Structure 1
Amino acid sequence: MDTLTPPTQMPMPGHPSLLHVKPDFIWGVSSSSFQIEGATNEDGRGASIWDTYCRTGQVANNDTGDVACDHYHRYKEDVALMKALGVQAYRFSIAWPRVLPLGDGAVNEAGLAFYDRLIDELQAAGIEPWICLYHWDLPQALEDRGGWLNRDIVGWFADYARLIGERYGKRVKRFATFNEPGIFSLFSRSFGARDRSADDKLHRWIHHVNLAHGAAVDALRETVPDAQIGLVTNYQPIFPSSDKPEDIAEAALIGDYWNCAFSDPQYLGEYPALIRDALAAHVRPGDMEQIHRPLDWFGLNHYSPVYINSDPNAIIGLGWGAKPDSIPRTPIDWTIEPDAFRDTLIEVSRRYGKPVYVTENGYGSNIEKPDDTGAVIDRGRVAFLHDYISGLDAAIAAGADVRGYFVWSLLDNFEWESGYGVRFGLTYIDYATQRRIPKASFNWYADVIRQARGGATA
């Protein structure tokens, strides 16, 4: 891909060769509660930490999640989009403060009823619901009690997981405990200063999340005996930005924090070697057994490798390094490296020995808009998806046990600190009107799914 060619002027790629994808491969899309639901002050929902953060003025354009994609009211329209797309599965998260406004204690029936309606709509459309318990929207009431830095959160999270299992477990069998714990730990604002004084808080946080995972797995097994449970982790190569010894050492260290601090103890039973001693102060007898509960699948979120250098003044020495000029980028400056995706799929399949589902992969843009005809021709995204799905097929050919692929995301949505200025969706959202406009990538992905399942393409 020529980095000087505007994505809107590139030829539309054809369909990837799927020589090794089996007919029962699962094609899907993913989302998260805070990023699409809106209705933050409706039907008894409590505040989340992201509601609070949006009021600080640190999100681009002072955007908030108050309305987002209005999915809370428009979920039927969005499920109809999924049906038209032809996906077999939809991964979404439950908003913890929508069902437990204070994080524990009194249950909000109106919040639970929303997910009942969503699950019913999905199943009526022939789409399997995959539930993620936690996608970053911690109830503010629990943050006020210490949040993930308070070991009591292990019990709070287990009680929440048990509630979800009891409510939806007869209709939903696929569960993930956490989405990207490596990200919401490494970049948590709960630590205060982003310097070495936060190192011990990070270690305590990591261990409590791992303990909460294990407790939630047990709660789900109790309430949904036939559940299929996994973790969704953001896993990608961590490369040093130079050949300096300190940068090489830092890259190896960050690899253990970013990729393995959660997946290793959860799937393999121990913390990775480079951070094991740092975590030891927080590990009590029996903790590792509590964390290492049987799991059924491995969820991989992957976008691009990370380039870092050593910054002795930053938390755990994490500094951001320069990216190689020779590598193409998305409009939001993430590198496009499908070979790294292929290699990562092979690595996690071998390392953890579980079926792998790509639970997020996608292309972010800050330059998309409808053309004069009202269409959104996102050739750059189509090219990205073509190359990454081709990399997935190559990984399977090399022996990786990959069984599903979920695009991030069905809809343009609230992209955290970038607000609504970055778009990852297969569907364009006109936020002023909430009109949904399927992009060229929507139709392209629908054709890929039909081709993979043995049907004719448009």
Structure 2
Amino acid sequence: MLTRKDFPPGFRFGVATAAYQIEGSSFGGAGPCHWDSFAATPGNTAGGSDGSRACDHYHRWPGDLDLVRDGNFDSYRFSTSWARVMPDGVNVHPEGLDFYDRLVDGMVARGIAPVLTLYHWDLPSALSLQGGWCHRDIAERFADYACAVMARLGDRIEMTATLNEPWCIAWLSHFLGKHAPGLRDIRATAHASHYCLLAHATALQALRADGHGNLGIVLNFETAHPASRSTADMAAAARRDAIYNRWFLDAVTGAGYPALALDGLGPHMPAGWQDDMALIAAPLDWLGVNYYTRSILRGSDELWPSFKFVPGPLPKTGIGWEIRPEGLTEFLLRAAAAAPHLPLYVTENGMAGLESQKCGIVDDTTRQGFIRDHLQAALDAIKAGVDLRGFYQWSLLDNYEWALGYGPRFGLVHVDYTTQIRTPKVSYHMLREALSR
């Protein structure tokens, strides 16, 4: 097992969570978000589950921060809930900001560096009903929210990300319909794919005007491999790569949207989108890389994007994602090439297990190997010249895994959802020991 000493001095090790997945959206006067209505629609989530209670982090945050500290982690990447801070999407709810004020003070008191994500998918229902990410006004609304949060917390926040995984915000939620708001509409997808980046850029501009720095965005990446060397399969993999990986990375680094993605989305884009591209490419202070798995693509005769997924031969996680650590090295090299002067962070990496507690012990053997191999992949990227400055495990706690409900467990800490008892897994203890040296 690698230890802290194997990495450059000052390298930051942390854990990550998301507000809706752990806090309990029914507490503290939070307003409804589009995940509440999505989950209330039959068939959208496993067992109709939602985040109304989740891990009760709203009340149990002191003990959860103790777990971060006691695990020898340097930093905690958390998110604020837009629906908690602004229940109607516009007006600030003081009780919501008070909660995050206490939370951030708790991190500082424990010597934990706070890393904030402003949006991790919990759009207030009031804004969703007005068009949400499909409407241009969302950019200004998001900037207002970002400025309100940072006006209260920014003096203690070390790094701030605008958005988490815009591919999920736009494509998974508006084209595939698997996340809130659950649309399957190519025009909505095209608009959301652009307006989420416009919102990022508008918030970035507003935060800089307010004097805030160390601002970035978190993008998710997934290797797209062709099922064979046939022309059709190679083209399918290239289209998937353009949609999933290149659309957002190319845009924020000034290369514009890739032609292979515009072939399908272009006719449905909002009028005048080209005029926003310079703002979207405004300089960042850092870039977050989320990496979990790969996909294997076969060409198809279906409508654009004309690809199908086929299963691969590699070992799988509890939800069937292939385990391929070298993909992390590849994407860190790729991101470094796209933005050669930008510091990088692995902002999420982890795996879902189906393990259970036995006699007070959760022995997650597969996760332990997953962590060891992906830390080695990150170190390989550093040795190849990548300016990688930190690595955040997903996730601190087992939590509400969106449409998959409470079955898959990504946490380093087991949560009994009935009693809310936390039990650190063997992977947690492994990391605690490694980070002590």
Give the TM-score of the pair, scaled to structure 2. Answer: 0.93
Higher alpha-carbon deviation: 434-443 or 162-171: 162-171
- Give me the whole-angstrom Cα distance separating, in 2, the residues matched to 1:172 and 1:192: 34
- Equivalent residue for 2:334? 347
Q: 1:374 to 1:173 in 2, by over 3 A?
A: closer
- Equivalent residue for 2:350? 362
Alignment of 1:125-274 (within 5 A): 125-189=110-174, 198-225=185-212, 227-274=213-260
**Which digits, 9 at most, give the CA deviation of each residue in 1:310-338, with x for residues without a partner?**
34446633432221x2x122232111111
**Which digits, 9 at most, give the CA deviation of each residue in 1:293-350, with x for residues without a partner?**
1101110000111222334446633432221x2x122232111111122222122112
Aligned to 2:233, the other structure's residue is in SS state helix
1:331 aligns with 2:342: no
Q: Could you tell me how far 1:197 is from its partner in structure 2?
A: 8.0
- Give me the whole-angstrom Cα distance separating, in 2, the residues matched to 1:99 and 1:311: 45
Amino acid in the other structure paired with 1:146 = G
Contact 1:88-1:127 at 8 Å conserved across structures: yes
- Equivalent residue for 1:394? 380
Q: 1:85 to 1:197 in 2, by over 3 A?
A: closer
- Equivalent residue for 1:289? 278
- Give me the whole-angstrom Cα distance separating, in 1, the residues matched to 2:299 and 2:5: 42
Q: 1:299 to 1:192 in 2, by over 3 A?
A: closer
- Give me the whole-angstrom Cα distance separating, in 1, the residues matched to 2:89 and 2:281: 25
Q: Extract unaligned runs of 5+ from structure 2.
A: none
Aligned to 1:286, the other structure's residue is in SS state helix
- Equivalent residue for 2:27? 42
Amino acid in the other structure paired with 1:36 = I
Aligned to 2:234, the other structure's residue is in SS state helix
Contact 1:197-1:315 at 8 Å conserved across structures: no
- Give me the whole-angstrom Cα distance separating, in 1, the residues matched to 2:85 and 2:23: 13
Higher alpha-carbon deviation: 261-270 or 335-344: 261-270
Q: 1:17 to 1:339 in 2, by over 3 A?
A: farther
1:319 aligns with 2:305: no
1:299 aligns with 2:288: yes
**Which digits, 9 at most, give the CA deviation of each residue in 1:383-416, with x for residues without a partner?**
1101111111111111111110000000000011
Higher alpha-carbon deviation: 414-423 or 313-322: 313-322
1:51 aligns with 2:36: yes
Alignment of 1:70-149 (within 5 A): 70-104=56-90, 106-149=91-134
Amino acid in the other structure paired with 1:317 = S
Q: Could you tell me how far 1:16 is from its partner in structure 2?
A: 2.4
Amino acid in the other structure paired with 2:277 = M
Amino acid in the other structure paired with 1:249 = A
The root-mean-square deviation of aligned C-alpha atoms, in Å, is 2.1
Q: Could you tell me how far 1:286 is from its partner in structure 2?
A: 3.3
Higher alpha-carbon deviation: 393-402 or 267-276: 267-276
Q: Could you tell me how far 1:146 is from its partner in structure 2?
A: 0.6
Q: Could you tell me how far 1:193 is from its partner in structure 2?
A: 11
Amino acid in the other structure paired with 1:168 = L
Contact 2:353-2:364 at 8 Å conserved across structures: no
* % same residue: 38
Give the TM-score of the pair, scaled to structure 1. Answer: 0.89
- Give me the whole-angstrom Cα distance separating, in 1, the residues matched to 2:278 and 2:329: 32
Amino acid in the other structure paired with 2:404 = S
What is the aligned length?
429
